[in-house]
Structure formats: structure tokens, C-alpha cells
């Protein structure tokens, strides 16, 4: 899976449906017809005039491969059943001129070939029903965003071009657990230039300022820019793995290591949201580093030579 799409795993049902609709509209334009939820559950989110039906499904994660498959399988079975059983409603919905050639379940992640085989079995089931609104050669298939890569990237780029974050605010520092602050303070004490209590206290306060505002920024991005949120979280998760597996092996002194982590984190944030003003990117990056300092992925060896 493309790294930029990995963060789509775990989107809520509403977030996934909204993203799918925007990507499908980019892909199909005026040919796409969205089906409102109100007025009955037809077991589909949208269809095209050329004969494709879409159902969007994002199970609650994390899930093991087998469990994810079972949920995707059951959802496919259930909604193909609705496609067959709601014949009177669907005849009115599609009219006389639309014949469905593809029934498609769209999921953030498909990692079991068994779902492909299950869709083949559901194809046989739909064809046996001999529905007036279904083409005799209809297929039930499963897809992910990788099947719409160009349209997905257009949606993401459209989000980037209009991204605005709320103004920074003076945060409530009491919202941070004092033991986490103590952990960060202790780690930063290994940096020679921050061994002075007063200087370190000011540095901790600045990191907490970025951490709390960064949390608000990330919540805002999740609510308003779903695709950017998915990409940002994926990149920061990947960087955290590097902290655990690679950076810990570096023999850099604490000050150099901290500087490198701050710079790399800000670089990742800017890659995800290049049009974000530098101050906001820095707040997101420094806030993430503060989180790592508080909950342990980032630590330093004591620089005894200093």
C-alpha cells in the first residue's frame, strides 16, 4: 500500500464515506449519483449512470487480517442481500436506463484474497437473482483507494491548497499530566545547554505550548481535512518507528540528536501540508517531539564528557 494511503486505515465510517464520495465524484464527475441516507437503507452510497454501484465500508480498527476479512465479508453479504431484496425501491432509484454492471465494496485496506473469492461467490448470487436493474454479466468486486490513485491525489492536493489552521491560543498547561512533564524535564536535563533549571523550565514550557496547540491543530485537521490527517498521522507513525529502531543507535550527543529529530519532524509535517505557514508547521512538529519526550519513544544517553 502507498504510504500516503496507509493512514486511511481506521477512519470512521462517516469519514471514509465522505472521502469515497469526493474521490468518486472526482473520478466520475456528473456521472456519479450520490444516494442520501435518509429515506431508507438501500445498501449503497452512490452509483454511476454507466452502471457502477458503490458501498463504502471502514471497520473499527485495529484488526487482525482474518477478523478484518470476516467483517468485510459479512458487510458484503449483507449489502448484496439488500441489493437483491430491495428490488422495488431500486427499480425506482435506477429508472429504466441504468443497468448495474459492477457492485463494488470500497474498503480502506484489503489484505485477504478470501474477500476476492467471496465477491466471486456473491457475483453468482446476484446473477441468479435475475434482477431487472442488473446486467446479466454483473460482477461483485472489492476495491481500495489504490484503484483511484490519481483522483485520490487530486482530492488531497485540493485540500492542501485551501488548508487554514485556527489561531494559536494560550493553552491550559494543567491539562498535561505532571508525571509526563517530569519525564520530559528529566530527559532534557541530559542536554548540556539545558542543564540550567531556569533555561530548561522555559524550554519545557515552549514544548508544552506546542504540544497543546498541536493537539488542537491535529483535531482540527482530522475534522476538516481528512486526507491530510491520514497522511500526517501515517508519516509521524513512520518517524516514530525510526526513533525506536534507528535513532536510538546513533552516537550523536543529546543536543545534536534533539536538533536532528526536531528538524526531521518539521520536514515530515511540511511534506504532508506544504502550504501551512512555517509557524504552524513548527508547532505541529515541536508538539509531536514533546509527546515523544513524555511517553518515551525519544530519549538520550547522558553526555558524560560535557
What's the average model confidence in pLDDT over 50-69? Answer: 95
**What would the pLDDT profile of 27-47 be if each residue is shown by its tens digit?**
999 999 999 877 566 789 999
**pLDDT confidence band for 304 (50 / 70 / 90):** very low
3-state secondary structure the chain: CCHHHHCCCCCCHHHHHHHHHHHHHHHHHHHEEECCCCCCCCCCCEEECCCEEEEECCCCCCCCHHHHHHHHHHHHHHHHHHHHHCHHHHHHHHCCCCCEEEEEEECCCCCCHHHHHHHHHHHHHHHHHCCCCEEEEEEEEEECHHHHHHHHHHHHHHHHHCCCCCCCCCCCHHHCCHHHHHHHHHHHCCCHHHCCHHHHHHHHHHHHHHHHHHHHHHHHHHHHCHHHHHHHHHHHHHHHHHHHHCHHHCCCCHHHHHHHHHHHHHHHHHHHCCCCCHHHHHHHHHHHHHHHHHHCCCCCCCCCCC
**What would the pLDDT profile of 166-207 be if each residue is shown by its tens digit?**
777 888 888 899 999 999 999 999 999 999 999 999 999 999
Q: What is the mean pLDDT of the chain?
A: 88
pLDDT at 277 over 80: no
Per-residue pLDDT, 6: 61
C-alpha neighbours within 13 Å on the C-beta side of residue 237: 13
pTM: 0.62
Amino acid at each position: 500500500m502507498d504510504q500516503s494511503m496507509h493512514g486511511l486505515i481506521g477512519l470512521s465510517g462517516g469519514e471514509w464515506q465522505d472521502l469515497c464520495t469526493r474521490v468518486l465524484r472526482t473520478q466520475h464527475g456528473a456521472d456519479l449519483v450520490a444516494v442520501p441516507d435518509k429515506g431508507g437503507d438501500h445498501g449503497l452510497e452512490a452509483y454511476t449512470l454507466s452502471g457502477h454501484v458503490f458501498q463504502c465500508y471502514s471497520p473499527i480498527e485495529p484488526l487482525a487480517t482474518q477478523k478484518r476479512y470476516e467483517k468485510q465479508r459479512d458487510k458484503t453479504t449483507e449489502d448484496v442481500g439488500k441489493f437483491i431484496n430491495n428490488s422495488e425501491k431500486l427499480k425506482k432509484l435506477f429508472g429504466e436506463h441504468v443497468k448495474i454492471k459492477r457492485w463494488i465494496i470500497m474498503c480502506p485496506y484489503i489484505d485477504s484474497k478470501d474477500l476476492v473469492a467471496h465477491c466471486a461467490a456473491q457475483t453468482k448470487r446476484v446473477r441468479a437473482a435475475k434482477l431487472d436493474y442488473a446486467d446479466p454479466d454483473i460482477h461483485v468486486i472489492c476495491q481500495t483507494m489504490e484503484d483511484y490513485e490519481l483522483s485520490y491525489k487530486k482530492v488531497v492536493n485540493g485540500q492542501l491548497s485551501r488548508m487554514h489552521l485556527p489561531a494559536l491560543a494560550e493553552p491550559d498547561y494543567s491539562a498535561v499530566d505532571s508525571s509526563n512533564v517530569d519525564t520530559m524535564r528529566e530527559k532534557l536535563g541530559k542536554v548540556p545547554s539545558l542543564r540550567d533549571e531556569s533555561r530548561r523550565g522555559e524550554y519545557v514550557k515552549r514544548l508544552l505550548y506546542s504540544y497543546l496547540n498541536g493537539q488542537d491543530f491535529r483535531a482540527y485537521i482530522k475534522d476538516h481535512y481528512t486526507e491530510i490527517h491520514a497522511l500526517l498521522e501515517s508519516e509521524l507513525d513512520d518517524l516514530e518507528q525510526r526513533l525506536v529502531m534507528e535513532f536510538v543507535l546513533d552516537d550523536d550527543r543529546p543536543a545534536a540528536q534533539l536538533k536532528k529529530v526536531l528538524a526531521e519532524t518539521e520536514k515530515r509535517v511540511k511534506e504532508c501540508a506544504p502550504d501551512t505557514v512555517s509557524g504552524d508547521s513548527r508547532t505541529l512538529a515541536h508538539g509531536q517531539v514533546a509527546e515523544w519526550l513524555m511517553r518515551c519513544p525519544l530519549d538520550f544517553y547522558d553526555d558524560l564528557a560535557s
